[in-house]
Structure 1
Amino acid sequence: MATGRRAETMAETRDKLLGAARRAFATQGYAAASMDDLTASVGLTRGALYHNFGDKKGLLWAVIAQIDDEMAERLRRVRERAPNTWQGLLDDGTAYIEMAVEPEIQRIMLLDGPAVLGDPSKWPGENACLQITMRTIRSLIDEGVVHALDVEAAGRLLNGAALSAALWVATSDDPSAVRDKAVTAFRRLASGLLGDQV
């Protein structure tokens, strides 16, 4: 019984820290977010932060993983709503680019995350997205919708285009205008994968 309560308390502490960090990183930015203020805001100490996440960078990784999971779920629903696999692939990439105008995603995932943690194409979440894209492309090739080509190459190029577009949107002076241009170009580029008979 005591072990179960202890695990529950640890999970609550972790959730409190994650929530506080997410708010602080989204509103103040990673560099400006004070770990003392962050922990105090939820009645915890820096020791709790270090115990659960190691350091500030570890906390950022955890926040990014949480947001990434939420984004992946949103994209899954987008794909499932599409009338067919091809439209699902296009809509997935489009939705990913469009998320770049959302303040929290823009700040944490596309500005501070890459600046602190390095190339987002190497992050675990991006690799999971790549696997989904490659499976989708394989299905589309099997169905004759997409040209027969190297699945990994096509997946990496398509995901890279969406990621690059999202980063462009996030760093631009007018994210909404850039988003519209990026989505149009992404969809046109992706259509180059279509087979001749489609």
Structure 2
Amino acid sequence: MNVKSKQAAMSAKLTKAEQTLRTRRAILDRARHLFATKGYMATGTEEIISELEITRGALYHQFNDKLGVFRAVVAEAYDEMTDYISAKVQPLDDPWEQLVIGCQAFLEIAQQEELRRLVFIEAPAVLAADTLVEFDQYGFGLLHEAIQIAVNEGKLNTINAEGFAHLVNGSLNELAAWVAQSNDPERLKTAQRLVETLLIRHQN
């Protein structure tokens, strides 16, 4: 194969790879909109692909089935949540303030329309508990790290940092599910005060 032929072959491969990525992105964007507005059960694969000019086979090739699409959508939603919380705490220098603001930022997400339904309403009803734990591992790791830093710097008093991280994480998930049931901003403020009170009780 001469140089030009090799270059043409490489270009074709890149083009195919790029097309695959574009198709995947289009499916995820369309599915996210439908799952967030109609819910998982009310969304069919035909509706996902109907406006994309792709075949059902293309969807199955990328994700195996509708559940696979939903898993990928929710995984991206969890990444967005982590980015949102990180953006809230990064400008802060005090570990205690980072911990409190980070927890409160997580609760704010429960009233952000698309993420609220995807993460706190649809995902628990559709996905297995161990899948949700897997998605939450990175976020939990950040929470555990923030608690450990606060303990190490003498700002938080607890008998076990990892156990306390699980306690706070469980409380946050329950409060977020409660917040997600309503658009009332007062419910969000109440939840944020509750988690702050939980943390303050362990503050040095």
Q: What is the TM-score of this pair, normalised by structure 1?
A: 0.92
Q: Distance in 1 between the 2:32 and 2:131 partners?
A: 21
User: 1:70-149 to 2 correspondence within 5 Å?
Assistant: 70-119=80-129, 122-149=132-159
Q: Deviations over 1:122-172 (max 9, x none)?
A: 432311111111111111111111115211101111111111110111124
Partner of 1:192: 201
Specify whether residues 161 and 11 from structure 1 end up closer, same or farther in structure 2 by C-alpha distance, changes over 3 A only: same
CA shift at 1:81, angstroms? 2.0
User: 1:1-198 to 2 correspondence within 5 Å?
Assistant: 1=10, 2-119=12-129, 122-172=132-182, 174-195=183-204
Asked whether the 8 Å contact 1:64–1:109 carries over to 2, the reply is yes
Asked whether the 8 Å contact 1:53–1:59 carries over to 2, the reply is yes
- The more displaced of 90-99 and 80-89 is 80-89
Q: Distance in 2 between the 1:159 and 1:127 partners?
A: 11
Show structure 1 runs of 4+ deviating over 4 A.
none
Q: Distance in 2 between the 1:168 and 1:18 partners?
A: 27
Q: Which residues of structure 2 form unaligned runs of 5+?
A: 1-9
Q: Distance in 1 between the 2:23 and 2:200 partners?
A: 47
**How many residues end up aligned between the 2 structures?**
194
Give % identity. Answer: 29
CA shift at 1:82, angstroms? 2.3
Q: Distance in 2 between the 1:55 and 1:48 partners?
A: 10
Q: Distance in 2 between the 1:70 and 1:130 partners?
A: 14
CA shift at 1:121, angstroms? 8.3
RMSD: 1.6
Q: Which residues of structure 1 form unaligned runs of 5+?
A: none
CA shift at 1:175, angstroms? 4.1
Larger radius of gyration: 2
Q: Distance in 2 between the 1:128 and 1:167 partners?
A: 19
- The more displaced of 80-89 and 7-16 is 80-89
CA shift at 1:79, angstroms? 1.3
- The more displaced of 76-85 and 104-113 is 76-85
Q: Distance in 2 between the 1:51 and 1:185 partners?
A: 46
Asked whether the 8 Å contact 2:120–2:180 carries over to 1, the reply is yes
